[in-house]
Structure formats: structure tokens, C-alpha cells
């Protein structure tokens, strides 16, 4: 006898965005809906009547949740549960419901949370970025005005002092110029970008050529999709955004003990991507990947904060500026990192309705 759920409401279950898996008392899969196929990246034919271990690698974890469900005689739900699927960690809301029937004993429900968590992360980043931008803007204005006075006074002193101290005045003027450039970089994100048609590969090639001369021991690998269309963007701002990220990767590799030091610049088109609460039909993905030491887990959320740097000589402004420039194009930067594999992914919409 076929399970009633198959005969009567199978069509309804197939339409659900929730992944549904029905198992018997022996932990064999008796039903597997379309959303489960997508989540677990395997077809129904390959799992029916097989052990649930073929999709759920941590079987002991599952048995423990089933035990809890049986003790309560009610559904057991766990939020933001991380499960391993084909060597990839996915975050889900996981529910076990006892449902004794002839052919199945438990209903397993999996609601993928990665997209929801990504949206929440984007909102936090946007709020933090606005606060940081305003702070930096005010700070730059407060420093910029007296800085001009210091430089002007130093220049007037050049004609009034003994030659033996001119060297020290030169230091004051040089450092004032350096700080002036820093203040200009803090204020430049507020200038509205000039959008024109650009080929993204012209930008990445200029960056690769510049850094290849500076970092001769690093291998720059190109993995381009040459069929990508042109993109409406401010060339200088997108150049600076990608350059800052790539230069950071160079510095991380230069300071590491890697025998082979590689940076791969990847370009791809992605379709139907959601970010900033909007579905984008097509976006350009520019990824900067290196095989360096990676970013510590406890630091990865802080790297876009201004004035935060792990380098003694760093200003902590490169990545915040990159994020500002990309945001001005309605884009987003995502980062993933582990030892030997750090990837910064820049997504830029191709649509012409940038505002």
C-alpha cells in the first residue's frame, strides 16, 4: 500500500519550497520532494529506499533529534542548524515530526536559511557602512581645515628660519601632503560616480599589469569569460575597488611562507541573483582569489570597518573604500576565507537603472 501522503497530497508537497523527506523506522527514505532534490543535490531515484545516511552524513545527529521528538511526542525544531552536504556546509531550519504510518515514521523538514542569513548580513553591513561613512566624513572635514593651516605656516617659515632646520620643515610639508591625500580619499566616496560603458576586462588587465610589475614573485592567473557585456560604471571607482582588494591579496601572499603564490582573477556572469532586496536578472561577478594564509574567522566581519588593519603600515581604509565604491554601483562584496583559499566576490548589476 502506498503512503497516503503520496497518493493524496503529493502534488502539494512537490510545490513546497521546504525540503520534505519521509523516512521509516529503519531510517530508509520513502519520499523525497523536489525541494529536497535541490537542497541535497541528488535525484529522488537515487535515494528512495536507501538509508538517510546517503543525504545526511551525520546520522548520529539525526538520531538524537528523532529521540528528542519521540520523547516529546511532538515536532522537534532546531534553528540555524548547519549540515554538511557534499562537502559544503549549509544552514537550515530543521524539524523532525513523528508520524507513525504503514510506510513512514518521521517527517523531516529542511528550510534553507543561507539566503535569509545573507539578506540579514547585507542589512547589517549597509547600516554599519552608513554609520562608518558619516563618521569618516566628519573626521576628514575636522582634520582637513587645520591641516591646510599647518602646511601654510610651514611654507611661510621656510624663508624665515636657518637652513639647518629646513629639513624638518620639509618633513612637516611632506607629511601634511600625505595626510591631505588621505583626507581626500575619505571624502571621495561621496562624489557621485560618472557612469559610462566600460569593459570590465580592461580594468582587471590594467590592475594585473600594474601589480605584476610590483610583485614579481606572485603568479597572476586569468580566468575570464570574454563573452561578458560592457557594464555601466565609473571606471576610476571600480578600478580602485578591485585594485585595493587585489593589492591586499598581494601583501598577504608576500608576507606568507607559501612556496607557490597565486592570485586568480575570475570573471563570470550570474543570473537571477538577489541582493539589496532586489532580484537582478544578470550581474557581473569579479572574484579575486588567493592561496594565502586566509583571514581569521573572528576578524572576517571586521575587515570592512574603517581604520581596522592587521598591517603595521596599513591605514585600514582600502576595503571600506572598495565597499563604498561598489555600493555606489548598487553592487555588493562578499568574502569567504580559509587557509589556502580566500575569495573576494564583487557583484555588479548589468541593468542600466543604477541610481
**39-88 pLDDT, tens per residue?**
888 888 888 888 888 887 777 878 888 888 888 788 888 777 777 777 77
Average pLDDT, the chain: 79
- For the beta carbon of residue 118, count every other beta carbon within 10 angstroms: 15
Does the pLDDT value for residue 191 go beyond 80?
no
Give residue 130's pLDDT: 67
- Torsion from C-alpha of 20, 21, 25, 27, nearest 10 degrees: -150
Give residue 335's pLDDT: 85
pLDDT average, residue stretch 333-339: 84
Q: How far apart are the C-alpha atoms of 212 and 208, rounded to whole Å?
A: 6
Q: How confident is the model at residue 220 (pLDDT cuts 50, 70, 90)?
A: very high
> pLDDT tens digits for 165-184?
788 888 888 888 877 776 77
Whether the CB-CB separation of 343 and 337 falls below 8 Å is answered with yes
pLDDT average, residue stretch 324-350: 86
Q: How confident is the model at residue 312 (pLDDT cuts 50, 70, 90)?
A: low
Q: How confident is the model at residue 224 (pLDDT cuts 50, 70, 90)?
A: very high
Give residue 172's pLDDT: 85
More confident residue, 256 or 208: 208
Does the pLDDT value for residue 31 go beyond 70?
yes
Q: Give me the percent of the chain exceeding a pLDDT of 70.
A: 81
**Phi, psi at 225, each rounded to 5°:** -95, 100
Whether the CB-CB separation of 273 and 312 falls below 8 Å is answered with no
Give residue 266's pLDDT: 94
Q: Which residue has the cell 529542511?
A: 110
> pLDDT tens digits for 90-105?
778 888 888 877 778 8
Q: How confident is the model at residue 204 (pLDDT cuts 50, 70, 90)?
A: very high
pLDDT average, residue stretch 217-231: 90
Q: How far apart are the C-alpha atoms of 283 and 195, rounded to whole Å?
A: 16
Q: Which residues contact 113 (CB under 8 A, 6 or more apart)?
A: 79, 80, 91, 92, 93
More confident residue, 117 or 281: 281
Residue ranges of domains in the chain, CATH in brackets: 4-112 (3.30.450.20), 116-191 (1.10.287), 193-355 (3.30.565.10)
Give residue 288's pLDDT: 92
Give residue 350's pLDDT: 83
Q: How far apart are the C-alpha atoms of 25 and 66, rounded to whole Å?
A: 10
Q: String of b and e for 20-30 (b: at least 16 CB within 10 Å)?
A: bbbbbeebbbb
Give residue 309's pLDDT: 59
Q: How confident is the model at residue 114 (pLDDT cuts 50, 70, 90)?
A: low
pTM reported for the whole predicted model? 0.58
Amino acid at each position: 500500500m502506498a503512503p497516503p501522503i503520496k497518493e493524496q497530497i503529493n502534488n502539494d508537497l512537490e510545490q513546497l519550497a521546504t525540503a520534505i523527506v519521509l523516512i521509516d523506522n529503519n531510517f530508509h527514505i520513502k519520499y523525497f520532494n523536489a525541494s529536497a532534490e535541490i537542497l541535497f543535490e541528488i535525484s529522488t531515484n537515487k535515494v528512495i529506499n536507501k538509508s538517510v545516511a546517503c543525504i545526511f552524513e551525520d546520522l548520529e545527529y539525526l538520531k538524537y533529534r528523532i529521540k528528542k521528538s519521540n520523547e516529546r511526542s511532538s515536532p522537534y525544531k532546531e534553528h540555524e542548524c548547519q549540515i554538511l552536504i557534499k562537502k559544503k556546509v549549509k544552514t537550515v531550519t530543521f524539524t523532525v515530526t513523528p508520524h507513525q504510518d504503514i510506510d513512514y515514521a518521521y517527517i523531516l523538514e529542511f528550510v534553507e536559511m543561507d539566503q535569509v542569513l545573507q539578506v540579514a548580513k547585507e542589512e547589517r553591513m549597509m547600516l554599519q557602512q552608513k554609520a562608518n561613512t558619516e563618521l569618516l566624513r566628519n573626521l576628514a572635514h575636522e582634520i582637513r581645515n587645520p591641516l591646510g593651516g599647518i602646511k601654510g605656516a610651514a611654507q611661510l617659515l621656510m624663508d624665515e628660519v636657518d637652513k639647518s632646520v629646513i629639513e624638518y620643515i620639509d618633513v612637516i610639508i611632506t607629511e601634511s601632503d600625505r595626510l591631505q591625500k588621505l583626507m581626500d580619499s575619505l571624502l571621495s566616496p561621496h562624489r557621485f560616480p560618472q557612469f559610462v560603458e566600460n569593459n570590465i576586462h580592461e580594468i582587471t588587465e590594467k590592475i594585473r599589469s600594474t601589480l605584476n610589475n610590483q610583485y614579481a614573485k606572485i603568479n597572476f592567473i586569468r580566468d575570464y569569460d570574454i563573452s561578458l557585456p560592457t557594464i555601466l560604471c565609473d571606471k576610476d571607482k571600480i578600478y580602485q575597488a578591485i585594485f585595493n582588494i587585489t593589492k591586499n591579496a598581494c601583501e598577504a601572499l608576500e608576507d606568507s611562507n607559501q612556496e607557490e603564490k597565486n592570485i586568480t582573477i575570475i570573471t563570470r556572469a550570474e543570473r537571477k541573483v538577489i541582493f539589496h532586496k532586489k532580484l537582478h536578472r544578470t550581474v557581473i561577478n569579479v572574484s579575486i582569489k588567493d592561496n594565502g594564509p586566509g583571514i581569521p574567522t573572528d576578524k572576517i566581519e571586521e575587515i570592512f570597518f574603517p581604520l581596522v588593519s592587521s598591517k603595521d603600515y596599513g591605514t585600514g581604509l582600502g576595503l571600506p573604500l572598495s565597499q563604498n565604491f561598489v555600493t555606489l554601483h548598487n553592487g555588493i562584496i562578499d568574502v569567504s576565507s580559509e587557509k589556502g583559499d580566500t575569495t573576494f566576490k564583487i557583484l555588479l548589476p548589468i541593468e542600466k537603472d543604477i541610481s
